[in-house]
Structure formats: C-alpha cells, structure tokens
Amino acid sequence: MPTRVLIADAEEVVRVGLRAILATGTEFEVVADTGDGKEAVERALADGPDVCVMGTTLGGLDGLAVVRALTGTGCRVVVLTSSTSDDDFCAAMRGGAHAFLAKSLSPPLLRQGIRLAASGAYALSPSAAESLRGLLNGCRHLPDDGCRHLPAEPTHPLSPSELQVAGLVAAGRTDQEIADRRGVSVSAVKKTVSQCRRKVAAKNRVELARWAWLNGLETPDPGPAAALPPAAPPPRPDHAPLAAAVAGGALAG
C-alpha cells in the first residue's frame, strides 16, 4: 500500500515539483495539494494522509500553526523549507514535526526523509542536524538544572563497543550502516543499541543520540579498517545522508 501524501506549499511550482518527484514509482500517492494552511488542515482531517509535506509559509494559516494543528491526528509532518533559522527548526520540531528538510535536498533524499517520517522516524537534513548539534553543545554550559530532560547517567558503564555504537547513532547512522561499518549483523547492532539505551535510560534513539552528543561521542572511532567503506569526496552540505532516529520508547532499534 503506498504512503498517502498531502502537499502544502504557498508556491505552485514547489507543489508541482513535489508531485513529479513523488510520482516516480508506486511508493507514494499524492492525495491532494494546497497553498492554504487552513485548507491543509481540513484536507488532512478529511483525507487521512499518512504524511503532510509542507512549507513554513502558507496562506490562511501559518505553516507552524499547521504543524501544531496536525499533532495527534495520525498525519506526520515533513517540513520542507529554505530557512536556516534555529528558531524555525525548534518551533517546527517542538510543534510535532517528524522531519525538517532543506528544499535543496536531492529527490532521492527527499523521498527517504518522507519514508522515514511515515515509518515513525525523525529525519533532519544536514543543516538542521548541525543546528541541533549546536543547540545541544550550548546545553553543556547550562547550570546543573538547565538540562533537566537529559537522559540519566549510565546505570552501568558502557563498553568500548557500546560507546562506539552510541557515537554512530549520534552521527545519524542507520542500523544497517553501523553493521556495515563494524562488520557485524544488523541484529547484533540492534541488540547493542538496546543495551546502550537501557544503560543511559534513553527512551528512544533520539535521547541516546543526545546523550552521546553531550558526552563528546559525536566523532567515534571508525572501527576496523576492513569494515570501512571506500573513501569518497565530501558531499555538498544538503546532499549528505539524512540524520535519522527512530521514535517511540517501545522500539528497540
């Protein structure tokens, strides 16, 4: 069954472009598109799409207000924007968005971001991931009560292998990418991620990534040389792999 998508953006050229991108293959079905925020909410409630891909500027109702209005409806929101503002990023994610993606993303990465959001994951384009990292790094310098919602200190020390996996999670690597990098099975990675989460009292991968960032694990030891992929030239900023983390405390991976 295809993922049902609602498109909401003030610019018609963007809506037409998104339709064309999502029409490739049978994975996605666009149920409607609109440039009006109020209509976007009405169509989401009437048509029951899985995902709403939307810009932050809409007629009738502000885009961030649409994000908040769709929270709890079962429709996951992917914010597609040219904004690099930390305030816009924080407002969107606090409002309930599952993805914050740059309009400069390539079509394959855009589809990947929508796919992640539809599955219950969070997806960030590289520029948004840098914003998050900067905000979390700033949190390191707050008073003791300034980060009350951070995961607790580990109940048991993490092993070197667990520290490395936690660092790779913080770098936005998927279980498959971690498995390939470390030369182990995906099931072994899932087990290690679960152990890490249990030890640091993290409800999900997002909290595990945050714990790793705040403890300086964002540049982990790459592991055995034989397990590393061939070197490649650095990608353009918004054509790098998306940073993603699975949401929901009940999910082990």
pLDDT in tens, 96-133: 899 999 998 889 999 999 999 998 888 888 777 776 76
The mean predicted confidence, pLDDT, of the chain is: 78
3-state secondary structure (DSSP) of residue 32? strand
- pLDDT of 58 above 50: yes
Span 173-183, mean pLDDT? 84
Q: What angle do CA 185, 248, 118 make, to 5 degrees?
A: 85
pLDDT at position 50 is 96
Mean pLDDT of 195-214: 82
H or E stretch including 102? strand 99-102
pLDDT of residue 18: 95
What does the pLDDT average to over 8-25?
Answer: 93
Least confident of 64-68, 149-153, 186-190: 149-153
φ, ψ of residue 30 to 5 degrees: the values are -80, 115
Residue 219 has pLDDT above 80, yes or no: no
pLDDT of residue 147 exceeding 80: no
Give the pLDDT confidence score for residue 138 in this predicted structure.
54
When mean pLDDT is compared across 77-81, 119-123, 144-148, the lowest value belongs to: 144-148
Question: What is the pLDDT confidence band of residue 230, given thresholds at 50, 70 and 90?
Answer: very low
Helix (H) or strand (E) holding 3: strand 3-8
* Higher-pLDDT residue of 161, 143: 161
* Residues in CB range of 151: below 8 A, 6 or more apart: 200, 201, 202, 203, 207, 208, 210, 211
Share of the chain above pLDDT 70, in %: 76
